[in-house]
Each structure stands twice: as C-alpha cells, then as structure tokens.
Amino acid sequence: MAQKFTPLAQSRASYYCKGSPVHFVRVELFRMEGTGDTVVTLTFKNLFSRPLVSFTAYFRCKNKYGEIVVEDSFTYDDVYANEGDCFGCDDAVFVSDEPLGSVEVRLGSVTYDDGAPHDLRRCTAVALPPLRPLPQRERSALCRALHTEDADYYPEEAEDGWRCTCGAFNYNAGQGICFCSECGMEKAMLQSALRQVQQAVEPPQPQYDAGMQYLPVRDEEPENDPYGSSGYDRIDYSMGAAGGRVLRGVPERGAGQTGASALYGMPGQEGRGGMPPVPARTANDTPAGDGAVSIMKDSTADFILRALPFWTLAAVGVFTVCAVLAAQLLR
C-alpha cells in the first residue's frame, strides 16, 4: 500500500554559494499520514554543463523552540542530472516524530561524470534579495500574458544573477543569462510583460519639473477693469484690426442678449444703463462696429510709423534739389 504524504511547508533558499556549480533550491516538509511523522526533503539544481553523478549536502533541523533535533549529511547517488535539472525532491533526508521549526542546509561536495570530486564548502554564501509576492491582480494578468501558472514574485536582480518570477535563482552564465533554469521563462519577455501589466494596472502619471509652467485654465480679470463686474462670464483679449488691443466680453449663460449684442456680449442701452459708454473706434476714428471696444488709442509711435514713408520721400526730394543747385553754382 502506497504511503500518502501531505505538504506542510515549503521555503525557497535565501542565498546562493558564489562559484558553486550546484545551487540549493528549496526545503519542503511533508506529513506522513500513516504515522504522522514529519518528512524533510531538499531540492538542488545542477548549474554545470556536465551531468552531475553524486552530491553530498549537510543539514541541521531544529524544532519550534530552536533546539537542534538532528545534524547530519546526506549523499545523493546515481543522480545524472543535466544542466538546469533539479534533483533530491523525491528523497527524504530526515523523518521526525515531532514538528520542525527550521532547516539549515550547507553544500558539501559534488562529483560529475569525469569521476573527480569537487569540494564546495569553501564557496561563500551570498544572500539573495527577498522574494516579493505579486499582488493578485498583477499576478493574474502576468500569468495570462506569459501562459504560465508560476508567476508568483517580482523578478529581482542579484549580484551574480537574477531571480525569476517563479522564485528561481539563475546565474549570469550560460543559458541562465537569458532563460530561467527551472520554468524556462525568457528573461527579456518576462520583464517586458511585467512592464505592460504594471502600466495597465497603474497608468503612468505625468511628471513635472521646475522648468515647466502651469497654464491657467481660464483668463483672469484685470484689476480695476470697468467691465470686471459687468456680468460677463469671461474676458477675451485679442488684437484689433488696427493693431490695438480689443476687449471682447463673453456674456454669462442665460443673459438673454440677442443679435450682435448677444454675439459679442455687448449689453443693450436699455439693459446696461450703468455700464460706461465707451464707443468703439478704429485707426481712422470711425466706428469699429458692434462689440469692439478700443481700450488703447493711437500712440505717437504709431503716428510716426504711419507718416514715415511720406517724410522719407520728402527728404529724398529736398536732398536731390540741393545737390542739383550746388552743382550749378560750382560750374
């Protein structure tokens, strides 16, 4: 009769050993339903290009009070794991009759198909960035985009590699540069899909800096403007036909004007008796029509500019006559 095992806990490795061709992946705890004992399994991954034949690891198990229950080594024989293959998850390294609180693992030695053992105890342990679970909304969208069920964490960069969204650590060497050695996900595709998902969930906000100007959403009424309280909804400044500024008032909604007065916001004489009667004039001192009220008279500069062609021609004529007379006198 087959024994039934119920998963109790699973934890991924929080470190990697720099320079080691074998990486510790995770520890799992199961409950043996027949006896109630706790079963410990360890999973490792071969990162080298040659098949791994045997491997030895050291482990230490503690109970929930932090007391050491067992400290021992375990050797995996006849593994023959190729590059990127995981092994060890089907072998129980320890069976405890009491609940466990933690399991510590150290690498021992590895033997490849050349038969030469390699000591891994001098490989320095380097802490990995902590796993950050994806929010459920982003996780669902990322799983749909990548057609996978293993998108559980944010991908993270490490000193010598990167962590995939499935939680696996990959060295920046060999296939691990571009692909996850556990789930096979392409790194560039993963990063692109995650950016698209995040932009869809949280649209980017416009960025402002000190050099940008904030434009007003409506014109402000000038100070001491005689039309500021005349009932106009807004004031529109534009350039008149003669180059002077022209003030055009836009009436409030529902003011009730008709015809040209309603179009330009100029109140009728009977409805706006208190409004200052400023007639509209053009440059020739003729009425500018309904709705145009000149607020700037012709200046001296404007007069000079208009008269400049005449005075220029007159000066040229006088200079020519004087030159002819001087030539006659000097003969």
The residue to which tokens 């940008």 are assigned? 212
Nearest to 88 by CA among 118, 60, 120, 54: 54
Output the pLDDT for position 150.
Answer: 83
Give dist(CA 267, CA 249) in Å, integer: 10
Output the pLDDT for position 199.
Answer: 85
CA 15 to chain centre: 29
- Residues of the chain within CATH 2.60.40 domain(s) are 5-127
Output the pLDDT for position 308.
Answer: 66
Overall size of the chain counted in residues:
331
Please identify, in words, the CATH class of the domain defined by 5-127. Answer: mainly beta
Cβ-count burial of 23 within 10 angstroms (0-12 exposed, 13-18 middle, 19+ buried)?
A: buried
Count CB-CB contacts under 10 A for residue 37: 15
Terminal alpha carbon distance of the chain: 143
Output the pLDDT for position 207.
Answer: 59
Q: Is the pTM of this model over 0.75?
A: no
Output the pLDDT for position 34.
Answer: 84
Contact between residue 31 and residue 95 where contact means Cβ atoms under 8 Å apart: no
Count CB-CB contacts under 10 A for residue 282: 16
Give dist(CA 113, CA 93) in Å, integer: 24
Residues of the chain with pLDDT under 50: 1, 214-221, 225-280, 283, 288-297
Output the pLDDT for position 325.
Answer: 80
